[in-house]
Structure 1
């Protein structure tokens, strides 16, 4: 059994497993998430923004992801999916799907377009299965999905 919860203060959570596993896989964005949160560069607190975690019944954080106003495009109607990470042992078990569906629900309430950047084939397949379109010429993003009017 797992639960998805909005994260109000990342600094109160133990994200050690996420940090270690993401670094082993060569991903730096979980570390950037923590650094940006600590320095208050990005705390997912602007209108429409949210950071969510997926937790096991014993409150272990197994996945994380958020939605921000896209910092590169300068348009408050465009959101960016950011810092999306699922521990390897929980992949292909529905955890990422549950988290992404929650983030899509959040984005639909506040934005017209949701963009993201990924450079892995596995992530590309995951996002396109949700209707994201691969964009070859997107400025600072690789995929987009219309989420609102």
Structure 2
């Protein structure tokens, strides 16, 4: 599958509508929150170090999305949080999620030492674990952590 990964500088509902509908049909509400928070200005992924990426298929449809915010639960400003990460069901298990995650991690390295996230999905747990994250149980708002800073 030919895809194009690029930064989303302006999210509009027409671009993400199909993905939101699909995610809601699977029982996930976080893409609807992505749109609502983006449109209200609550979270536009534009603070220092933050980013929102999307992956489009050859037909120009958005098939994956994922963002990076500063972690509001952390006591420091060197922890980023992976947010609103979703891959269309038809695009899963083709490396697209890993491609998107790798782009976000690469972007995060310049601003953050640690990435955290929260998921309650077993398949997502396996995906993040396979991509170098460790499972975390110390805080209820974090299920996975990736330490990026080289330990000296």
TM-score bracket, shorter-length normalisation: over 0.9
- For residues 93-112 of structure 1, the aligned pairs below 5 Å read 93-112=94-113
State yes or no: 1:34 paired with 2:35. yes
The structural deviation recorded for 1:72 is 2.0
Structure 1's unaligned 5+ residue stretches are none
State yes or no: 1:115 paired with 2:116. yes
Take 1:15 and 1:113, find their aligned partners in 2: how far apart are those partners?
A: 28
Q: Over aligned residues, Cα RMSD in angstroms?
A: 1.2
State the partner residue of 1:69.
Answer: 70
TM-score when normalising by structure 2: 0.94
Q: Deviations over 1:34-62 (max 9, x none)?
A: 00000000000011100000011232100
Which range is displaced more, 5-14 or 113-122?
Answer: 5-14
TM-score when normalising by structure 1: 0.95
Structure 2's unaligned 5+ residue stretches are none
State the partner residue of 1:128.
Answer: 129
Q: Deviations over 1:86-145 (max 9, x none)?
A: 000100011101100101101112100000000011000000111111011124110001
State the partner residue of 2:55.
Answer: 54
Whether contact under 8 Å (1:109, 1:148) holds in the other structure is: no
Which stretches of structure 1, 4 residues or more, deviate above 6 A after TM superposition? none
